[in-house]
Amino acid sequence: MPLALLVLALSAFAIGTTEFVIMGLLPDVARSLSVSIPTAGWLISGYALGVALGAPVMAVLTASLPRKRALLILMSIFIVGNVLCAVAASYGFLMAARIITSLCHGAFFGIGSVVAASLVPENRKASAVALMFTGLTLANVLGVPLGTALGQVAGWPMTFWAVAVLGVLSLLGLWRVMPMRHDEEKADLRAEIGQLRNAGLWAALSTTMLFSAATFALFTYVAPLLEDVTHLSPHGVTWTLFLIGLGLTIGNVIGGRLADWRLGTALTGIFATLAVVAALVRWTSPAFIPVEINLFVWAMVSFAAVSGLQVNVMIFGKAAPNLVATLNIGAFNVGNALGAWVGGLVISEGLGLRAVPLAAGALALASVVAMRISMRLANEENARPLAVVADAC
């Protein structure tokens, strides 16, 4: 694999870390800025909404640029945003900085995926894209627990300084080793936008959004839950986040194989299982060992759906793979914001942290309904998922 792919993976690691590490730092940020946990949770929602709204806008703004130049601009925005997060002295300033940082997220992954596939021969394109997204997976395994630990020891701003340094290294790597291609195909925005009239595409995007909401309703408040209900120390929370990261990685591998087997059945089963496993956290959270096992299984089930959801969207977006890929990242992040909001609402209404897993389970059941609608529309179009993926690659 070309060295440029490793640089893309490093970039994905940095972007994934800055998105997810705030969850481990949520109690520290809330105390430091004198806001409540639900209010601090809006920092996750703000980032997610920034991705959802910024992804298509940035995709259009960078469509006429060479892909290398577009990636350099997007990574520069990422660095500036993290520096602003590190120097933020108020909640409002930190929120604005998080939104600035989020603007690069969707477009970087969309353009980066196309670049990764272009760097290798035809028979290795899927592996190249997978290698780039390995950085995002490792962000959950290593970036989040290490960033949380650093923030607990040296203060949460230090975590954002560290991520900004990763961004600088990524920028230098992109500049030095990423080839500048002069034979790139220009995106046909008119044709891609026309694909948005497909009702099945919106059903698939809604499925992605509801699944993501089910995951992040619990993920957003897992650190406060572990501290206040399980009574773990900050050090114990860090190790639990590492355990969750391992679960996410394993689930990603298992989920890809399940999606290859039978897409609709696999996703429906995963969503139903997620509803049960998330709800069980309510009863296991007071006990250390049961909740650790529960959260590990929950993490596996959560990430098992990610690759399948991408295939599900591509069924309806084969004529517009670039825009659809960007929109699906946006749908994930709208779900992130929705989940964080639902979890915060549950807490604000006085139901307590232990009610959050039940809300997450309810959202997972809603994603089952959306998936069934998506499957029905796919059957009407006589779509073949594997053929679609092959065409996209």
Domains in the chain: boundaries: 1-187, 188-393
pLDDT tens string 293-341? 999 999 989 878 876 776 677 666 666 656 676 778 778 878 887 888 8
Between 156 and 203, the more confident residue is: 156
User: Which residue type, as a one-letter code, is found at position 72?
Assistant: L
pTM value is 0.71
pLDDT tens string 199-239? 777 888 889 999 999 998 888 888 888 888 888 887 788 78
Most confident option among 109-123, 247-261, 279-293: 279-293
DSSP H/E element including 9: helix 3-33
Fold of the domain built from segment(s) 188-393: Growth Hormone; Chain: A; (1.20.1250)
What's the rounded mean pLDDT across residues 146-170?
92
* pLDDT of 259 above 60: yes
| pLDDT tier at 383, thresholds 50, 70, 90 | very low
Report pLDDT for 385.
42
* pLDDT of 112 above 50: yes
* pLDDT of 49 above 70: yes
What's the rounded mean pLDDT across residues 352-376?
88
pLDDT tens string 70-86? 899 999 999 999 999 99
Between 219 and 124, the more confident residue is: 219
What's the rounded mean pLDDT across residues 192-200?
68
Identify whether the C-beta of residue 366 lies closer than 8 Å to the C-beta of residue 275. no
Least confident range of 201-210, 257-266, 367-376? 257-266
Instruction: At 220, give phi and psi (nearest 5°).
Output: -60, -35
Report pLDDT for 321.
59
Report pLDDT for 194.
65
| pLDDT tier at 381, thresholds 50, 70, 90 | low
pLDDT tens string 24-36? 888 889 989 988 8
Instruction: At 15, give phi and psi (nearest 5°).
Output: -65, -45
DSSP string for 12-81: HHHHHHHHHHHHHHHHHHHHHHT--HHHHHHHHHHHHHHHHHHHHHHHHHTTTS-HHHHHHHHHHHHHHH
What's the rounded mean pLDDT across residues 259-266?
74
CA distance readout (Å), 94 to 2, 98, 335: 37, 6, 21
Candidates 3.40.50.1220, 1.10.10.10, 1.20.1250.20, 2.60.40.350; correct CATH number of 1-187?
1.20.1250.20
Q: 188-393: same fold as 1-187?
A: yes
| pLDDT tier at 107, thresholds 50, 70, 90 | confident
